[in-house]
Chains A and B, each alone.
Chain A
Amino acid sequence: MEDKQAIWGGLAAGYFFCAAFGAMVFAVIAFLDIITSPLAGEVSGPGSFLGLAAVGLGGLLLLAELGNKKRFLLVFSRMQSIMTKGAIFLACFIVVAAIYTSFWFDIFPWAGENVGRRIIGVLGIIFAVALAIYPGLELGEARGRSFWNGSALVPLWLAAALTSGLAGVILVAAVNGVSPAPTIAVLDKILLALIITQIILIATYILGMRRAALEEARRSAAMLLTGKLKNIFWWGIVVCGHLIPCLLYFGGSGAGILAIKSLFVLAGEACLRVAFLQAGVRVSLPGEDNEWYQEEEIAILAARLEQTWQERAAWLNGK
């Protein structure tokens, strides 16, 4: 019986977070640009670059997760697979976001070309949404891990991605000194609405799983609420990611408060990815708990055997 999902670890969780965060930062920036928000010019350059860099970092984390990195191009070879689709979304997003970002830097001759940039922005938003949605569908493919319910995970992770994207844009605005702009005040209110929506979605998800008929779903929910992942759930997701940002709304809307609030939201979103990824335990097979030797015990035995062989070999060779 798995005590937590350990096949995809921190690198995969890091990828999911970075890709969702970066994609949605980009999507918010491009949206503000398309609706010709007056704020667009001031945060768009650094914001879209942050989005691109975050997704790029996510791509590198994904690459690091692979056992055989030299063959990574093969990931594009089977379109029926959700992983291939995700890799295509990732690659297309990086290309489109790089082109879009270049429009904001004067070193490129096409900088300032509004129509072309906005068309690229629309394309980028499509890939950004696809990049935020597909991990939920990907995890939903694991039939033996019923905690990952694709149809429920997609809205939750999309809301989480949008929350982190908004927090990222607000953070960029606060750092660049444009936080007093009215658009940021609107974004800040939308962020609050999203945080509250997410609290409802998470509570519904966990309580639904707690009452689920399948044993492994109940085990996953218990793991989050009272088990191995309780600290990351209660302190990371609930307190850090939701309660503190909500309380900070009483502290005004200064640049410092906005930046701190955004950082707490981002920390909470990262914890959400890690906790939900680890909580997806597999259905346990009959007798799996009574395995003759656990993997760790066998590894210790193998190491001891190897050491004994080395000692015997050294003795036989008279060393």
Chain B
Amino acid sequence: MHWGMVIDLRRCIGCHACTVACQIENNLPLNERWNKVFTVGPEGEFPNVTSYHLPRPCMHCQDAPCVDGCPTGASQRRPDGIIVVDGERCIGCKFCMLVCPYGVRQFEAGKGIVQKCHLCYERLEQGEMPRCVETCQLKARHVGDLDDPRSEVAELIHRANARPLYPHLGTKPAVYYIFP
């Protein structure tokens, strides 16, 4: 079992509903967002102009630099592939923030620890979808088992040529994007 996500950028309209849903689900303050949405473009030259929105959750990398670098073992990779942070073990050294090439980790100054998207693993364990996936009205987000070739995400990756961000960094992300 290896949880992964496919985000269809052709469908995302940049409504930021996933960002807000994540904040509500995890009781985050207004200025803390585990799931940002960036707007790319408009780029190119008329008539070949493109613009799209790029949601950026944690990539839950298989070869996660944050897990390798964590000096306390607070950053862990669960057997199902989800990278989680044990708040009880984090010392707030911010090394994981430094080594994460996607900049997904956030320092919570109040608690003195680092936190990030955990793919709503508690909801997944109960058979529910992560809050961002459930909230997305355009059905741009899909979550499933990357190890199962018949799963929706595996089929989408195969059919739509979905690819991760910056694969050359060698972190093997579990979040794939279908680019427009």
- Tell me if B156 counts as interface (CB < 8 A to partner A): no
Is A291 in the interface zone, CB < 8 Å from B?
A: yes
Contacts of B107 in A (CB 8 A): 7, 67
Question: Min CB distance, B8 to chain A, in Å?
Answer: 15
- The residue in chain B whose Cβ has the minimal distance to the Cβ of A80 is B68
Tell whether A123 is near chain B: CB-to-CB under 8 Å: no
Question: Which interface class (under 10, 10 to 19, 20 to 34, 35 or more) fits A?
Answer: 35 or more
Binding stretch for chain B, among A108-116, A258-266, A293-301:
A293-301
B118 at the interface (CB under 8 A from A): no
Instruction: Name the residue among B39, B53, B72, B166 with the largest chain A CB count within 10 angstroms.
Output: B72
B37 within 8 A of A: yes
| Contact partners of A144 in chain B: CB under 8 A | 99-103, 166, 169
Contact indicator B90/A68 (Cβ below 8 Å)? yes
Residue-wise, chain B 39-67 has the 8 Å CB interface mask toward A (1 for contact) of 11100000000000110100000000100
Complex Cα gap A304–B29 (Å): 14
Q: Would you give the 0/1 interface string for A157-173, flagging 1 where the beta carbon is closer than 8 Å to chain B?
A: 00000000000000000
For residues 271 through 301 of chain A, which have their beta carbon under 8 Å from a beta carbon of chain B? 282-283, 285-288, 290-292, 295, 298-299, 301
Which residues of chain B are near A248, meaning CB under 8 Å? none
A295 pairs with B31, CB closer than 8 A: yes
Q: Does A203 sit within 8 A of B, measured CB to CB? A: no
In the complex, per-residue mask of A66-88: 1 if CB is within 8 Å of any chain B CB, else 0: 11110110111110111110010
- Using known A-B contacts A141-B99, A144-B102, A292-B16, determine if residue A285 contacts B165 with beta carbons closer than 8 Å: yes
With known contacts A67-B109, A80-B68, A8–B91 Cβ distance under 8 A: no
Could you tell me if A78 and B97 are in contact, using CB atoms closer than 8 angstroms? no
Q: Would you call B149 an interface residue if the criterion is a C-beta within 8 Å of the partner chain's C-beta atoms?
A: no
B70 at the interface (CB under 8 A from A): yes
Tell me if B's interface is mostly helix, strand, loop or mixed.
loop
B113 A67 Cβ-Cβ under 8 A: yes
Chain B residue, CB-CB nearest to A297 = B31
User: With a CB–CB cut-off of 8 A, which chain B residues contact A83?
Assistant: 69-71, 93, 95
Q: Are B37 and A302 in contact (CB under 8 A)?
A: no
Please name all residues of chain A whose beta carbon is closer than 8 Å to the beta carbon of B98 when the two chains form the complex. 5, 7-8, 139, 142, 145
B71–A81 contact, CB under 8 A?
yes
Q: How far apart sit A305 and B30, CA to CA, in the bound complex (Å)?
A: 10
Q: Which of A87, A141, A283 contacts B65 (CB 8 A)?
A: A141
User: B residues within 8 Å of A by Cβ?
Assistant: 14, 16, 29-31, 36-41, 53-54, 56, 65, 68-74, 89-95, 97-103, 107-109, 111-114, 165-166, 169-171
A contacts, CB < 8 Å to B: 2, 5, 7-8, 65-69, 71-72, 74-78, 80-84, 87, 138-139, 141-145, 282-283, 285-288, 290-292, 295, 298-299, 301-302, 305
Q: 11 A-B Cβ contacts within 8 A?
A: A67-B93, A67-B113, A69-B91, A75-B71, A81-B70, A83-B95, A142-B99, A283-B101, A291-B39, A292-B16, A292-B39
